[in-house]
Every structure is written in structure tokens, then in C-alpha cells.
Structure 1
């Protein structure tokens, strides 16, 4: 590896700007090349990022200056791009989900060889979820018994100008938002051993509300309301709801209930946020000071952690979460409890003292 680790970005949609902003502030890495199906996107990024070149995907994969591929393509393409990168000996870090199916994700990990594979979300490495995890690990709420995770919205067609992929295989509220919540629940309560689920698809089409395609109807090919129960290895049960079929909710994103207290966990789609604690007999929630996690982190911290050998946003964890999501849908279609065939540990807690290391300023 050279003095600056070379990253090649494939896929330059909306989320790419957040990754580029993070990685552009870290001196030990550089954006060596970018590629997109729309060449003008790649050319625009290359013009404003020092030392970056706009390449075709095949050229980027063959480029010796690229050591790690950041895969920001649509979910349907995640596995194909990851496998191609691994065939060229590159490390791979991808947006969630790791692949559209567990079978594809297994193939990705099987092809890794000596290369590292990681995947979003890395929001779980921020001070929000990590502080909550430190509280659980320290026994602050006693033995954890259960958790509730809720995410409800009207659907991404309300704001996204190209929302089609949210309503195709690999999309829907479960595959889009579920990884944030399920990854957090694994960090907080440990691996998932089995699930039971139910789901629905109330509307066959959706209408785009913004952008050049405003007013256009798109087909809905996935279930848009998914609920279920997760059984964790330690015995705790999590109840989850993910929906594109509601206006809003006042429920806390995640609550963890233990024998001697309850934690309110901030939005797992964000890195920071305040964790609140309430014990039996108390009338108010107490805010906890951050005690773990990368402070002020942004998209890309998981990639940096992977490059540094931390592997907390690992491919194994991404596969396990994908297994849980696929199993929830299988349970919903069969009406049966579905045991998971994978497991994964979330990696070590992020010490608060590491908060500046990722910036290496």
C-alpha cells in the first residue's frame, strides 16, 4: 500500500456526495478514480477532486492505483460490482444492502480471498448507538430483555426524483431502512437467531412528487409495510416495524428495555444523537453523555475503519442483517418462524478516545 490509500468510487448518485466529503478530509486516503453509468457525473467529480480521474467501470477495476472499491451503485448491482472488484484483487466496501439476496452476498464473501469486504451502515459506529451499546454492556439497564424499533414514512417518492429502485427487489422500507435498525439491534443485543414476520403491499403503484418525472406513476414490486419479531442469541426479543405506508410516528427510533432500566436510542440513520435512560420509579428521562463511538463522523467512517483493520462494519455483519431481512419476508409469506443460517459479532466497541483518529488531521 502506498502512503495514501487509493479509493475508486463506482456510482455517483445522491449518497456519494457525503462519502466524498468525508474521504476528502482524510489525508491517508485519496479518491484515485470515479465511475458512473452517466459519464458526465464522473467527469464533474474528477474536475473538483485533486488527482481524481473519471474512468469507465472496467478501467477503474483494472487501475493499480485503486486499492479499495467504494460500491455506491443501486442495490441490484451491488453483488455484480463487488464480485468484479474482488476478481481484480480490490477490497470492497458497499452501500447497504450487501447484495439483493443472501445467496449473492454469500458469493461475495466467498470470493474475497485476502481482500477485505465491508458494508454500510456505518452509522452504528457513531456516538449515538455506541454510547447506547456501552450502557447495555456495562449493565446500566440490567439484563436486556427486549427492544422496539420503528421507522414509518409516506415513501421516498415524496422527495426522491428517481425512486424506482426503492420499489424493486432489494428495496422497500425493510431493505432500505432496515439495515440501520437491525445492525443497531445486533450491536445492542447480539446476533439474531430466528425471526417471525408479516408484511403487506397496500398500493400497486406510487406517484413521483418531485423532479422532472413529477406526476409519473411507478410500479410497486415489493412489500411496503413489514413488521416482525427478532429472537437474539442472549434471549432478548426485538419488535420491528418498517413502513412506507404511514405519515409519521412519535415513537422513539429504538427503545431497549432491561430489568433495571430503559434506553431511548437516537436515530440509527444518524451518527450522533443523545441516548436517554429511565429507571423504574423515575419520572423523567436522563440524558447520557457520549461514552463511545466516533464523534462527528459521517458516511465513510466504516470504510476507513475497514482500511485500518477494524472491520466493525464487516461483510459478515452485513450478510447477517441481510439474512434477517430475507428471513422476515420468508416468514411473512409462509406464516412460520424462520431460523437464521448466519451469525455475526458486531466487533469491538469504539472507544471515545478514537474519535479523532479517523480524521488523522
Structure 2
């Protein structure tokens, strides 16, 4: 098939991982890049094999761009996506789909009106970790799941990120930043969420940048940085969730799923692969599950290649806006539940994407 031509908007820290992946995929070709900092755009272009450096307007008008890869900060996700859709481009964006649910719904509606594809990270769920775990659940190995746990704890991104303020402003925080990896994996495993309860706190009102040229600079914290909740999935399973920028270490598992026939342990959903383990009922130890499904040797950007294949084959792409919008709705509802102290009913649902059929290599050659 003819490669899908990708125009990248935003050449910040995460873009390097995309460049490394996209240059090795058979189904996509990076043709252009735009960033407010031209030097960053030039560095990305060089890493991506010599893509053209353009202004945003020129990139959106370009005939050699089929899909806009939106790697801007969350506050700009909706504006860039809407502009790209208005220009007739498909869009694939970093998570979250937009800074708010209202903005995300506007982007979904614009995509439908334009007849263009809309995809959204995380595509880590398409790797061998989550996809192998899906196979375990689908095979009935642990029975019908009735519970899950998910833990993401870190002392905060300001230790390593040179410009971390956006993580601590509206649209940021541990839930909106890291929650999509965990919640998307849980939706793939257990289905959509019906209802949530939760609490949240903000132990520190300021943070200090720990690395880069601005090290030592203090900034205000505008969002809650420790969020905990319980999610009720449509199928009845209950997930206990902890997302925190206020913990130095933990021995808790990233994600575990429990059923009458045993327990299932997943690797960090921020990555594509890792060890999947199962503890069958009555066993005396965890057993490693060999990879059985997912994109192998994957990196950030395989969701764009999956979208390209969906376009070519006329099938839905797996890193869908449907799931991304529902996950954002769940996160906003959890934060609202924490604010009010009341349970929140989720106003949206989603279709769980089809699993990756077996082990698939998207790399060129």
C-alpha cells in the first residue's frame, strides 16, 4: 500500500520517540513538521529522515500531508485537531484527546462531519503486553473478571522534565497525564465504565524544576496531584485506581485483574511490551505467559500505522477516538466525584476495539 504521509505538529520531548518509531514503519512516511521553536522542528526533521520544516498553516495546506500527528501540549490539542480537520486532514493525537470533554466532543463531531479519521494515543495498548493479557481474559483462563487494581505513583515529572509546568495546570495532573495508559488498558480488558467514586488531594502548592536550564525554578501547582477512586465497569467488575505525583516508591503492581479462576498481572501500560503473568486458582506461584498477540518491537506511533492500515483496508483503527473520549469522560467524572464527594455516572460509552490478531510486525523490510 502507498504509505500514509504524516505531518507532525509539535516537536517537544515526546516527539523523539515518535520519530524513532515512524521512520522504521512500512505504512507511514513523515513528510513535514511544524513547531513554534524552529530549531526543535529542524531537529525532529533530521531525526525523521529529512522531513520539510513548515509553519503550521503551510503544513495544514500541504498536498503531501494526509494525516496530522498532533504532539502539542494538551491545552492546544483541540485547536490543532479542529484546524487539521477543517483542512481536510486525518488526525492522530497525543493523549488526552483534548483538555476537556466538551472540547473532545467538538473534535469528534468535526471528524464525523469532515469524513476524516480521528485517532488518539495511547497506542501502547496495541503492544504485546496488553494484547497478550486480552488473550488470557478472552480464553477464560481466570474466569469472568470481577475486580482489578491499577497503580501509578511517582514523585513528579519536574524531576526530569525541563518545562514541567503544564503537568500541574488544568488539563494536567497524574490522572489526566498518566491515567489514559491505565484506563485505556482497563477498557480493553474489562470494557467501558459506568460509574465512579473518588477522592483527591494536593499535598504541595508549589514544585521546583529539578533539571535543565531552569533547574531551581519554583512554580505553582494548580491541580490535585494524588487521585484515588473506584470504577464500576459495565460488565460488573470493580477497579481500584491510584494515580499520584506524591509517592517516591511503591511495591504495588501496575495492573492486576482478578477472577474466580485466578489472577492476571500486566506490565507497565506506559510501555508496549513486558512480562504478563497468571496465577491460576490453586496454584502456588505466578506463571509467565508467552506473548501471543500485539504489535512486536513497537514504539509510539504504531497507532498511526494501524490507522493507515485501517484506511487501506476499510476497517476501524484501534487507537480510536471513541475510546479516548470515553476515557477522558471517566477521568473528568472521577475528578468531579472527588470534588463533590458523590458518585458520578459516566455519560458516554465506547466500543472496545478488535484485538491485534496474533503477533504482527509493522516494521519496514
Same fold by TM-score greater than 0.5 = yes
Aligned-residue RMSD, C-alpha: 1.2
Task: State the alpha-carbon separation in 2 of the partners of residues 170 and 35 from structure 1.
Answer: 23
Instruction: Tell me by how many angstroms 1:51 deviates.
Output: 5.0
Instruction: Tell me by how many angstroms 1:325 deviates.
Output: 0.3
**Contact 2:19/2:44, CA 8 A, preserved across alignment:** no
The correspondence for 1:343, drawn from 341, 349, 352, is 349
TM-score, scaled relative to structure 2: 0.96
Q: Say which SS state the counterpart of residue 199 (structure 1) adopts.
A: strand
**Contact 1:295/1:352, CA 8 A, preserved across alignment:** no
Asked if residue 293 in structure 1 is aligned to residue 312 in structure 2, the reply is no
Task: State the alpha-carbon separation in 1 of the partners of residues 47 and 248 from structure 2.
Answer: 39
**Contact 2:20/2:48, CA 8 A, preserved across alignment:** no
Instruction: Tell me by how many angstroms 1:4 deviates.
Output: 2.8
The correspondence for 1:332, drawn from 312, 315, 338, is 338
Aligned in 2, Cα 1:47/1:243: closer, same or farther, shift over 3 Å?
closer
Spell out the pairing of 1:175-194 with structure 2 (5 A cutoff).
175-194=176-195
Name the structure 2 match of 1:40.
Answer: 39
Instruction: Tell me by how many angstroms 1:346 deviates.
Output: 2.4
Task: State the alpha-carbon separation in 2 of the partners of residues 14 and 207 from structure 1.
Answer: 19
Instruction: Tell me by how many angstroms 1:280 deviates.
Output: 2.6
Note the alpha carbon deviations across 1:57-85, whole angstroms, 9 max, x for none: 11111111110000000000000000000
Q: Say which SS state the counterpart of residue 299 (structure 1) adopts.
A: coil
Task: State the alpha-carbon separation in 2 of the partners of residues 238 and 102 from structure 1.
Answer: 22
Instruction: Tell me by how many angstroms 1:45 deviates.
Output: 2.9
Q: Say which SS state the counterpart of residue 296 (structure 1) adopts.
A: coil
**Contact 2:27/2:308, CA 8 A, preserved across alignment:** no
Unaligned runs of at least 5 residues, structure 1: none
**Contact 2:22/2:48, CA 8 A, preserved across alignment:** no
Task: State the alpha-carbon separation in 2 of the partners of residues 141 and 19 from structure 1.
Answer: 35
Instruction: Tell me by how many angstroms 1:244 deviates.
Output: 0.4
**Contact 2:27/2:305, CA 8 A, preserved across alignment:** no
Instruction: Tell me by how many angstroms 1:43 deviates.
Output: 2.2
Aligned in 2, Cα 1:12/1:198: closer, same or farther, shift over 3 Å?
same
Aligned in 2, Cα 1:48/1:290: closer, same or farther, shift over 3 Å?
closer
Name the structure 2 match of 1:270.
Answer: 271
Aligned in 2, Cα 1:214/1:350: closer, same or farther, shift over 3 Å?
same
**Contact 1:199/1:332, CA 8 A, preserved across alignment:** yes
TM-score, scaled relative to structure 1: 0.97
Task: State the alpha-carbon separation in 2 of the partners of residues 319 and 157 from structure 1.
Answer: 27
Q: Say which SS state the counterpart of residue 165 (structure 1) adopts.
A: helix
Task: State the alpha-carbon separation in 2 of the partners of residues 95 and 178 from structure 1.
Answer: 13
Spell out the pairing of 1:19-98 with structure 2 (5 A cutoff).
19-50=18-49, 52-98=51-97
Aligned in 2, Cα 1:236/1:54: closer, same or farther, shift over 3 Å?
same
Task: State the alpha-carbon separation in 1 of the partners of residues 271 and 18 from structure 2.
Answer: 14
Q: Say which SS state the counterpart of residue 200 (structure 2) adopts.
A: strand
Q: Say which SS state the counterpart of residue 179 (structure 2) adopts.
A: helix
Instruction: Tell me by how many angstroms 1:345 deviates.
Output: 1.9
